[in-house]
Every structure is written in C-alpha cells, then in structure tokens.
Amino acid sequence: MRRITWVLAIIMSVALVLAGCGKKDAASVVKDLNNVSDKLESKQGAYQGSGTMTLYTGEQPQEYKVEVWYKNPSYYRISLSNVQKDVTQIVLRNDEGVFVLTPSLGKSFRFQSDWPDNQGQVYLYQTLLRGIVSDNNRQFAEDGDNYVFEVAANYQSSALVRQKIWLAKKTYEPKQVQVSDSEAKVVVNVKFDSFKFDPEFTKDSFDMQKNMATGSASESTLAEVDENGNPVAAPENARQEDQTAAAEPGDFGIIEPGYIPAGVQLKDSNKLEDSKDHSVLLRYDGTYQYTIIESRPLDRAVSLAPATLIDLGFTAGALTGDEQKTLTWMSDGVQYRITSANLPVSEMMQIAASMEEQSGK
C-alpha cells in the first residue's frame, strides 16, 4: 500500500508540473502575438473575419454587421451594414487608393490616404495586436478558452480610453472587443462570430468596380471636389451624362445633431432654394463657429482630394483642409459636411455620431 501511495504521489506531481508548463503568462502570449503579427506582414499574410459591432454613442444602441478582409501588403475590405437602416458601406484599399463605397446608392468617396497605417480601427486585427504589444502596463487574465487583455485604447476619438480584448487560447483569433470611456462605460462592443487566417482571396476581391457591383446601382462616374469638399465643375459632356443618369433625389427635411458642444448654439438653419440636391445649411455660433451642409448629391460618386480617413464608427469620413477643416461623410443617402476653423476634430466626430440616429424634421 505504501508503494502504491508513493507511485500515485509521483504521478500527481508529474501531472501538476506538466500542467504548469502548459500554462502561459502575459509575456509568453505577447511573444506569440509578435510572431502572429510578423506572419501577417509576410507575403502570405491574410485573414477574414465577421461579427457584430454595437455603438452606444447615442440614446439608442446602433448595431452593425461587420466583415473584414485583409491581404498583404495593404489590401483591405471592411463592410459595415446598418441593421436598422439596411444600408451597407464598404471601406476599400487597393493599389488605386482608398475608397468608401455605398453600392446600393452607386456612390463612392475616393481619396489618397495611408489608411489604416498608424490609425486604430477596433475591427482590425492588427490594431488589437498593436494595442496589446505596445502597452507595457497591460492587464492579463484568463476567461475559459480565452486570454483577456485590458490595455490603453489608441483610437482617433479621445473619448475612447480603455479596451478589453478577448483572444482564443489555441489560435489567438479575436473573439470580442469592448472599448470604454473615461468613466468605464462601454462605448463600442465588437463580437466576432467567425475569424479565419490565410483565406483564399481572388484579385477581384479588392477591386472597386466589382465591389460597387454588389449593389443594385450601375457603374458610377467620379465627380471631383476640392480640398474643402466643394464641387469642382466637371466637363460639360460628363455633367450631362450624370444628369441624365441620376434620378431626382427626395427631400429629407433638416437633420439636426443630437450633440452640440458646450457654449455653442444653433444660429439658423435654411433649406437652400432651387437646389436639386435638397441642400440644407445649419450655422452654429458660440465657443466654436461651424456650419453643417446636408444634401442628397446628384453625382453618382464623389472623389476627394488628399484627405485623412476618420473612423466615425458607423462609417468612415474624410477630413480635408488645413486652417479650415471639413469632415465629409455619407449616411443613408445623405452627404454631410462639417466645416470650421476652430472646431476640434474630436468634436466633429461626436457631432457626426449624434446625427446617425436622427431623422429629418
């Protein structure tokens, strides 16, 4: 009996040692994540993921279906579908530049940009890896089959402070991301329902015209605008073709933002008479002075001058200008432009987010 007891004790000791050897700490997981990052930067680097993103920036949560494709060296395709409005927008990067597409409306923004280099997007796997690896004050825990990291948030919005990231233990696939504000309130929640490394993409997967064809609209022409987002006159023949192809857009009323910065008030709002695109002008005064222009553009597509891509959560916007900045974005067929010489970009982003759930009056 004594011999059996010693044998059992030895077996249990060995089992405990082996179990301990299989348990990883934060440092060893981070080392593995560095290797995963290196593989994504290799010639074969690629992934495909999908899930649901919920934004808690307004009175009611806004839910979006998210699909992300990546292929080295710098091909991206991000599809964002608004569940409530049944509208899909695609952020696309290929050799021709960066595009924001709304296939169902035949509209697109095209501009020169290095997006997403050095810019964080909560649904991009590289952003999550970068956040974990770069934060030396990271917190680490285990949650069932997942490793959980809590690190600093590094996004364009200063309101996003911390993020909690769940990664599968076996594969390091992303499972969930929660981004919180300074009061520890969750502002963005992303749940991945699928994620695959090394998927097979065709050359057409990142082609602009092929992605535009996923909607019901026909192939679009491009109308140029200047650095402030104002239309540049197109050649006469091109203008006539656009006018023939474009249907008269409907009146959407006046859409007012749900958020106004402290010390600012609405000065006036006017529908611009005789504008075929139903343009609306809102002017604000006070601590900051800015204007908001809303319209349903007749152009089937819009091309922007060199700009910075701004992640608005529900879509991507384009920031142009120097001393006077303009943030331009599309939502539900309406084009918005916020222009100001002193309004911070973070405030522009908050105003834009507050307009997503508003309807015209």
pLDDT at 99 over 80: yes
Instruction: For domain 26-197, give the fold.
Output: outer membrane lipoprotein receptor (LolB), chain A (2.50.20)
Residues spanned by CATH 3.40.1000.20 within the chain? Answer: 264-358
Q: What is the pLDDT of residues 219-271, one digit of tens each?
A: 333 334 444 444 444 444 433 434 333 445 566 688 999 999 999 999 999 88
The pTM of the whole model exceeds 0.75: yes
The CATH homologous superfamily to which domain 264-358 belongs is: TM1622-like (3.40.1000.20)
Q: What is the pLDDT of residues 296-353, one digit of tens each?
A: 876 555 555 667 888 888 888 888 888 999 999 888 778 899 999 999 999 999 999 8
Q: Which residues contact 169 (CB under 8 A, 6 or more apart)?
A: 142, 145, 146, 147
pLDDT at 126 over 50: yes
Beta strands in the chain (DSSP E): 46-55, 62-71, 75-82, 87-94, 97-102, 107-111, 139-143, 146-152, 162-168, 174-180, 186-197, 223-224, 264-271, 280-286, 290-295, 302-303, 308-311, 316-320, 325-331, 334-340
pLDDT at 135 over 70: yes
Q: Which residues contact 18 (CB under 8 A, 6 or more apart)?
A: none
Residues spanned by CATH 2.50.20.10 within the chain? Answer: 26-197
